[in-house]
């Protein structure tokens, strides 16, 4: 894919879909910033990429903080001189805090909206003026099928992910005039390390809903994120790519 020598920030890339996205971007020739709250994990991924002969740095970033997102952009510019790609992947629900809306508490909503929706805002805000000045850039956000069809017992997460889809379309409309593409990927159940550690009975129940009869591999989500970050997707903006093995066909 046409990505060689591009500078890419990937949030949430110490593990899971983010790590596979960072590795794929590096293999395509990009210089990658591994931005994660887990700096030990981020360092490992950066070392893995460097071991393969590509360029990468690890940064400790809490995406819920606009100050830290701004610092991430500044450090990237100091190191690489430009930012071509931002993949907003950090996100998720909070294990142990899943349950009916009737029992929900504001503190958990704040955390979920903070990580998923506000975290997408902070990092996008931190890079957007640089991209506007350069008249180019690609932002790829990660939502979820929960943001399209809803998800019982995680209304907070579904609401945040639905917000990311609306944010993607709105920002795409605003910045298309500057040659910036903003797109979104909505995965369904993906076999990341975190997901595969869930109880087997629960996992089997989920698989039954997926037409392809299996989980997505994190690499299969990364493939679509990297495509949207590449020049091959130059005429795609404001799109929400559903990568779900057909799960939403049933809704
Ligand atoms: N795995 C799935 O089944 C699935 C399905 C739909 C959507 N998604 C979405 O895809 C994205 C990646 O999912 P995953 O399963 O790979 O997640 P994961 O839990 O495996 O990895 C998330 C990464 O984000 C980092 N992170 C958490 N909070 C952070 C913060 N405040 N600042 C910076 N980094 C932070 C973690 O340290 C971790 O490295 C998430 O946005 C998730 O909501 C995942």
Q: What pLDDT score was predicted for residue 243?
A: 98
Mutate which of 9, 10, 11, 12 for ligand 1 pocket (most atoms within 8 A of beta carbon)? 12
Q: What is the pLDDT of residues 52-93, one digit of tens each?
A: 999 999 999 999 999 999 999 999 999 999 999 999 999 999
pLDDT of residue 175: 98
For residue 33, list its beta bridge partners. 9, 57
* Sheet containing strand 85-88, strands side by side: 56-60, 31-36, 7-11, 85-88, 137-142, 180-187, 240-243
Number of Cβ within 10 Å of residue 239's Cβ equals: 17
In a domain, 70, yes or no: yes
- pLDDT value for 222: 98
Residues forming beta bridges with residue 141, ordered by sequence position:
88, 184
**DSSP code for 215:** P
Give the atom of ligand 1 at the shortest distance from the alpha carbon of 91: 41
pLDDT given for residue 95 in this prediction:
84
| pLDDT score recorded for residue 150 | 97
What CATH number has the domain bearing residue 118?
Answer: 3.40.50.720
Residue 26 lies in a domain: yes
In a domain, 176, yes or no: yes
DSSP H helices, the chain, are 16-27, 39-51, 66-80, 106-113, 119-134, 146-149, 155-175, 193-196, 200-208, 218-229
Q: What is the pLDDT of residues 178-210, one digit of tens each?
A: 999 999 999 999 999 999 999 999 899 889 999
Residue 202 confidence (pLDDT): 87
The residue segments making up the domain with residue 140 are 7-250
Q: Residue 2 falls within a domain, yes or no? A: no
Tell me how far apart the alpha carbons of residues 224 and 243 are, in angstroms, rounded to a whole number.
8
Ligand 1 pocket (Cβ < 6 Å) reads 11-12, 14-18, 36-38, 41, 61-64, 89-92, 115, 119, 142, 144, 187-190, 192, 194-195
Domain presence at residue 1:
no
Residue 28 lies inside a defined structural domain of this protein: yes
97 within domain boundaries: yes
Q: Which of 118, 157, 215, 241 is catalytic?
A: 157
Q: Which of 58, 78, 79, 83 is nearest to 8 (CA)?
A: 83
Beta pairing partners, 243: 187
Q: Give, for all 251 residues of the chain, the pLDDT tens digit.
A: 889 999 999 999 999 999 999 999 999 999 999 999 999 999 999 999 999 999 999 999 999 999 999 999 999 999 999 999 999 999 999 888 899 999 999 999 999 999 999 999 999 999 999 999 999 999 999 999 999 999 999 999 999 999 999 999 999 999 999 999 999 999 999 999 999 999 999 899 889 999 999 999 999 999 999 999 999 999 999 999 999 999 999 88
User: Strands, DSSP E only, in the chain?
Assistant: 7-11, 31-36, 56-60, 85-88, 137-142, 180-187, 240-243
pLDDT confidence of residue 74:
98
Residue spans of beta strands (DSSP E) within 143-212: 180-187
Tell me, in angstroms, the distance from the centre of ligand 1 to residue 177's CA: 31
Angle between helices 66-80 and 119-134 (to 10 degrees): 40
Residue nearest atom 14 in ligand 1 by C-alpha distance: 16
Residue 157 is a catalytic residue: yes
pTM over 0.95: yes
What is the count of structural domains for the chain? 1
């Amino acid at each position: 894919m046409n990505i060689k020598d591009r500078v890419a920030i990937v949030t949430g890339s110490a593990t899971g879909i983010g790590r596979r996205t960072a590795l794929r971007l590096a293999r395509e020739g990009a210089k990658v910033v591994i931005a994660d709250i887990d700096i030990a994990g981020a360092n490992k991924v950066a070392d893995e990429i460097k071991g393969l002969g590509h360029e990468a740095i690890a940064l400790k970033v809490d995406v819920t903080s606009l100050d830290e997102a701004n610092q991430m952009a500044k450090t990237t510019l100091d190191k690489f001189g430009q930012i071509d790609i931002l993949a907003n992947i950090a996100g998720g629900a909070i294990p142990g805090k899943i349950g009916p809306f009737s029992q929900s508490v504001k503190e958990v909503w704040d955390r979920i909206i903070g990580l998923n929706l506000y975290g997408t805002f902070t990092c996008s805000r931190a890079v957007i003026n640089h991209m506007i000045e350069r008249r180019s850039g690609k932002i790829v956000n990660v939502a979820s099928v929960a943001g399209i069809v809803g998800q019982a017992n995680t209304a907070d997460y579904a609401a945040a992910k639905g917000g990311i889809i609306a944010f993607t379309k709105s920002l795409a409309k605003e910045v298309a005039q500057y040659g910036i593409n903003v797109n979104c990927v909505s995965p369904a159940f993906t076999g990341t390390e975190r997901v595969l550690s869930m109880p087997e009975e629960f996992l089997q129940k989920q698989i039954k809903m997926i037409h392809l009869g299996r989980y997505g591999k994190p690499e299969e989500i990364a493939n679509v994120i990297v495509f949207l970050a590449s020049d091959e997707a130059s005429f795609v903006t404001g799109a929400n790519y559903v990568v779900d093995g057909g799960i939403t066909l049933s809704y």
